[in-house]
Structure 1
């Protein structure tokens, strides 16, 4: 599903990723853990093709992450959400379908929303069916996070990437969000890679932990083999 070989990403003199090797197999649910600035978001950005590595090789679903056909099969919940606030919720969710639509259909959908049954079903799953025609900017942070999740649900990707997908959600909704992300990946025999901070969520929803510090992988093992001391060391790790 995903392979990084010796991947380095530099911004000026700073290495956001430093020689990262990582392979994710079909069916895996991988949690990326690490302190702020450890490289989690950069790793996800490399995986979805929005950041090109300075060195090393990246393969996603057997192809290049720069390939439009590959990128259409990768779904991302961004930490910044990447929603258009002035648009109604339905239009933001519809963005998950754009890869399958012609330019004409996409433009017409801004006038008369297309794929409405599918969009409403996704919003129902995240508890926002009654907000479909509200302007997105009027929603709370947690509600906007669920709109971004609904957008991914309608896309039906093979590889699911999520950057802090539950950061603005209460514990019940956070569990629901991680369940939906896992189900979405599993429905197509795919994989989930999620940057998370809550160890309880990780233990309930993931089967593997990859720990980052200073842009390097410093921990990679099954969730069952990760102790509280490992987590404490990870967040205090010095590369």
Structure 2
């Protein structure tokens, strides 16, 4: 597929289950190698990078994975601090497991997602929605230039869903970008300025949200089924 996302854009990727949304995000963050063609991320070629150059790029790309990629046995503070591992030397990262570093910044990030009182809880003891917000707090601490979010509000109520999408759009407001795979068309229309629809791994819809309605997206899902 051919797809370009510019600086400052907030792009919603929609489509039925199996359409290729997660695969697309995986190709962009380097977790999935492209089977053909090329990928450029923040002016770099991820498959061609190694060592320090690859780590620098990964530090600029923040991902909220569908399965969150959190360490359940660790406390919330450690999972949130993982957002800074790309910029910390190994010694500081290791010491932080004993004495958490940058605690005020961690608490501030958790406060934005309504979890400041859970900073020292075991992550695995939290509910699914709370863990989802921990993953968002980790990304806030990372302050990436590009945010990739795979169903970041799937376990949240409507109020928290709107709050999380507002937070994830922060880098786009600073000249970065947001690409979010969303199952809720209403969230896409409220928080993104462009909608890309996938079917069988192909882009079959690419339009500004101002030109779309909930009925248009319902028709897209019906046609793609």
Which residue of structure 2 lines up, in the alignment, with residue 39 of structure 1? 20
Q: CA RMSD of the aligned region, Å?
A: 1.2
Instruction: State the SS of the aligned residue for 1:58.
Output: coil
Q: Are residue 218 (structure 1) and residue 199 (structure 2) matched?
A: no
Structure 1 outlier segments of 4+, above 4 Å: none
What count of residue pairs does the alignment treat as equivalent?
219
Query: How many angstroms apart in 2 are the aligned matches of 1:146 and 1:229?
Result: 30
Q: Establish whether residue 182 from structure 1 lines up as the match of residue 169 from structure 2.
A: yes
More helix by share: 2
1:51 to 3, 26, 32: 32
Q: Secondary structure at the match of 2:132?
A: helix
- Offset of residue 71 of structure 1: 1.3
C-alpha distance in 1 between matches for 2:24 and 2:144? 18
Query: Is the CA contact (8 Å cut-off) linking 1:94 and 1:119 kept in structure 2?
Result: yes
Per the alignment, residue 218 of structure 2 pairs with: 232
Alignment of 1:81-100 (within 5 A): 81-100=68-87
> How far is 1:106 from its partner?
0.6
Uncovered stretches (5+) of structure 2, i.e. residues with no partner: 48-53
Q: Secondary structure at the match of 1:70?
A: helix
Give the superposition deviation at 1:238. Answer: 4.5
Q: Does the Cα contact within 8 Å between 1:163 and 1:194 map onto a contact in 2?
A: yes
2:185 is aligned, of 199, 202, 226, to: 199
Q: Which has the higher contact order (CA 8 A, sep 6+)?
A: 2
Alignment of 1:137-148 (within 5 A): 137-148=124-135
How many Å separate the matches in 2 of 1:95 and 1:65?
Answer: 21
**2:195 equivalent among 197, 201, 209:** 209
**TM-score, structure 2 length as denominator?**
0.94
Greater fraction of residues in strand: 1
